[in-house]
Each structure stands twice: as C-alpha cells, then as structure tokens.
Structure 1
C-alpha cells in the first residue's frame, strides 16, 4: 500500500513539473513572437540634429558678405549672430546661420561658391531621438504628477495639507518648466540646422597704412613707455656691475692723485 502511494505521488510531481515547463516554454515562445512582431523604428520619426562649419578665403569680403545675405534670404535662412575682425594681415567676418534641414546642403554649396580657397568644411548629423523621447516622457510624467496634486487640492480642506500640497505643486511646476525648456531647445536644434561660417580677405597693407594718426600716436606712446620700464628694470638687474664700475673709477682716480702728489 505504501509503495502504491509513493508511486502515485511521483506521478503527480512529474506531471506538475511537465505542466510548469510547458507553461514556461509557452510564455517564452509568446515573448519571442512578440519581439519578432514588434516593428523596427520608423526612420521618419528619428530626430536628427545637423550642424556645419565652414571657413574660406574670399577675394572681396564686403562683396561676398552682400552676396551671402542675399543667399540667406533666398533660402529662408536667418543670421543669429555675426562678428567682424581686423587682423594683422586679414579682415574676417563670421556668421551663425539657422536654416531648414532640407535646405542645408544646397545652401552650403551656394555659400562655398564665394570661396577662392577652402580652409576647412565639416558637416555632422547627430541622432537625438532617444534624448527627445526621454525628455518627452519626463514632461508627461511631470504633468501627471501635477494633475494628481491638483486633484488632491480639491479633496482637502485642511490648511496644513493645502500648504504642503501647494509647496509640492510649486516644485513640480518648476521642474516641468525646466524640462519643457529642454524640449524647446531640442526642437530648435532639430527643426533648424546650424551653419558656422567664417570668411576672410587677405590685406597685404601694413598696420600703419590701415590705422589713423591718433591710433598710431597712442600706440607709439605706449610702446615708448614699455621700453622705458624695460630699461629701468634692466638697470636694476645690473646694480652690482654699476657699483663695481664706480668703485674701480674712484680707485683709479685716487691712485693717479697720489702719484701726482708724490712727484
């Protein structure tokens, strides 16, 4: 009888293990099937940030600048920053330009047509899709928490609880605004590509030919004052030699006077 009970128990145990293995295998097959069914990411939904940097020499900077401004208007681009520089042997102009991503390549080609010597040109494209999705999810999470606090405010009448909820609500609101600002900046980077343009013209004329009289006089006075200070510092460095020279001079003079007195 006891052997029969042991045999039945063994059969039940084996059956439960088989059922459990079957369920695990079925769950694994379902997971694999789900992974296989999941479609690949849609390329059209990717967020790409494009940026180009270009530097070249032009024949006439003023003329090229006028042409570049006309090109920007043609392609619907805008200048967000511009600077001019006067170097020793050149004059330069730099621009930060925003343009629609689909017009970036054509605008770059049109701009480069003004070049007579290309120093460098780089174009980068960064996939910021995951960053975009992360920021978007954080915004939704903050908005959900904000909504919960607003609902709690309508369900309580205690002053202490109201003050606590309002404090937490203010904190969530500030965090939400910060994340929304990140999203806005990210959208700007995705919706508008950036071109960092630098053009320069070589100017062989000397410095004195390109500056006015007042500037040259001021520069000469500054140079003279610096030279005087350098000479003064040099004299201080040579004080031991000066003392020895003076001592030798007086010693020779004393010796000559003594010789004359003996004669």
Structure 2
C-alpha cells in the first residue's frame, strides 16, 4: 500500500527580518557619510562665541589673509627689484657738485739770473698750457740793490699746483701763498635769474604776437628790451666768473741775489771826455737859445718902437707943461 504524503508547500517569500537588517545598514552608512561631511567643515572654522561677539584672533588673521591681494608673480617682483636697483645705482652715480673756487697764488723766488730764469718761466707756462699776462723787469741803478722782475701768469685750475711746484724749483722760495674765493652761490643765483629772464622773454614775445593796441605793443617792446639787457648783463657776469674759476692766476716775483763785485769806476780820461761833451752840448744849447731870442725880438721890434715913441712923447709933453708954468708973470701984490 502506497502512502502518498501530500505536502502543501507555499511559494518562497523573502524574510522580513533580513530586509529590515539591510535597510538599517544602508541608513546607518548614509548617516555616517552625512555626519562626516558636516563635521569636517565645522572643524575647519571655530564656532562663534555664544554671546555673538567678535571672532577670535585666529579668525581675524584668516579674514585678513583672505582679503589681502594676491602676491605678484615672480616676473613682476623681479622687474620691481631691477627698477629699484637701477634707481639706487643712478643715485650713487650722480656726481656731487664741486664748489666753484677762484684761486689766486703768490710766489716769490730768489734766483741767480733774472734773464735765464725768465726763459725757464716761459717754458714752464707753455708746458702747462697757460699764458703770461704781464712782465716787468726792474733794473736797479745801484748794484747793492737786488734786481727784481714780476710776472703775471694764468694757468688752468687743475694745473695750478703742478705749475707752482715747477716754479718753486727755479730757486729759493721766500714767500708762497694761495687764496680761494667760493662763488658757487653766486653762480647758482645768476643761472636761476638767467633762466627766469629767458622765460619772461618768451612770454613777452608771445604777448607781442597777439593782436592788440599800439600802446600795448610798445609797452611789451620796451619790457622786452629791458629783459634782454638784463640777460646780456647776467650772461657776461656768468662768463667772467666761469673764466675765473677755470683759470687761476699766479703773481710771480723773481729776485736776483746781491752781487759781491762792485761795478768799476770810470777812469779820469773818460770822466774828462764826458764832462767836455756835456759842456759843449750846453754851449750849443745856449747859443741856439740866444739866436732864437734874437729872432723873437726882431719879430716884435715894431711894437717896441711904438711903445718907445709913446713914452718919449709923453715925457716931452710933461716937460713943456712945466716950462710954461715957470714963465707965466706973477700979478703985482696990493699995497
């Protein structure tokens, strides 16, 4: 006998417990992910104070750093550095203005021979590219007095010391002095005045170009004439000052040593000859003078004759008058 067991089996259904477990796991994973995403930004920036006050110092520094402009690129920084270096280099290379000085020197030297030393002085001045402005040689009448010579020299200022050293080697230096006059301010002031006058000249010329009355044009012309006269005067002063600065003057005095030998006295015959020559010359001068006087008297002789005749007539008239008074009869006296 066969027994058939009949089993009523329902179709396979998913387990609700397993479904809930997987759903729970998924939700937990999503929660953790969101929590980490929210927690990371919150950790980067500190929370504000509970009272709503100012942010902490670290937050201020972060804000300042965020608001600061971005640093320049490397190329711009290099260019800025090169410009600063160029400016510094130019400032270092700018020459310092030297004082403008007018130098004058005086030198007195005792030499053996004035003539030989004068030639040496001329050679030294030519070598130093200078000029001799004046020369005076004084020969004394007595040998006991030193012979002196003065020389006025002009040389470029940069060669002044070299020239003085060369001249000092010609003999024994007795006196040496050097003076300098600073004319820097005077030059700067004159140059500034000259620039202002030239600007005024340009302005007056522009005014004259505009159309205007005859009186305005004449006034502008007169003002222009005054401005140009001032410009010429200041320009001449500037040229003179610059020339004096560029060239220095040296007053050189040369003195010869006193000679121990006295000049010999002339002989007796030479003295007699000189005296005879002077005497004959004097006689000749006197003769010529008397001859000239005679010519003058001869030329004025008519006037002398007239004067003599007048004197003679006046004396004759006085004598006649005196004789007449004596011959007149006296009246008889009354009894």
Distance in 2 of aligned mates of 1:135 and 1:109: 35
TM-score, scaled relative to structure 2: 0.47
Residue 42 of structure 1 and its aligned partner are, at CA, apart by 5.4
More strand by share: 1
Match of 1:179 in 2: 234
The 3-state SS of whatever aligns with 1:45 is coil
Residue 108 (structure 1) aligned with residue 164 (structure 2): yes
Question: Of the candidates 176, 190, 202, which is equivalent to residue 135 of structure 1?
Answer: 190
Match of 1:121 in 2: 176
Match of 2:219 in 1: 164
Residue 44 of structure 1 and its aligned partner are, at CA, apart by 4.2
The 3-state SS of whatever aligns with 1:90 is coil
Structure 1 residues 98, 134: CA separation in 2 closer, same or farther (over 3 Å shift)? same
Distance in 1 of aligned mates of 2:159 and 2:106: 15
Q: Deviations over 1:207-263 (max 9, x none)?
A: x99xxx89xx8xxx9xxxxxxxxxxxxxxxxxxxxxxxxxxxxxxxxxxxxxxxxxx
Distance in 2 of aligned mates of 1:47 and 1:191: 9
Distance in 2 of aligned mates of 1:127 and 1:121: 21
Match of 1:76 in 2: 129
The 3-state SS of whatever aligns with 1:46 is coil
Distance in 2 of aligned mates of 1:152 and 1:82: 55
Residue 77 of structure 1 and its aligned partner are, at CA, apart by 1.1
The answer for unaligned runs of 5 or more in structure 2 is 1-90, 267-273, 283-335
Residue 143 of structure 1 and its aligned partner are, at CA, apart by 1.1
Relative contact order (alpha carbons < 8 A, sep ≥ 6): 1 or 2 greater?
1
Residue 203 of structure 1 and its aligned partner are, at CA, apart by 5.6
More helix by share: 1
How big is the alpha-carbon RMSD for the aligned residues of Structure 1 and Structure 2?
Answer: 2.9
TM-score, scaled relative to structure 1: 0.59
Q: Deviations over 1:104-139 (max 9, x none)?
A: 1111010011123x2311012333211111111111
The answer for unaligned runs of 5 or more in structure 1 is 1-37, 222-263
**Considering only CA atoms, is the larger Rg found in Structure 1 or Structure 2?**
2
How do 1:106-255 and structure 2 match up within 5 A?
Answer: 106-116=162-172, 118-202=173-257
Structure 1 residues 129, 42: CA separation in 2 closer, same or farther (over 3 Å shift)? farther
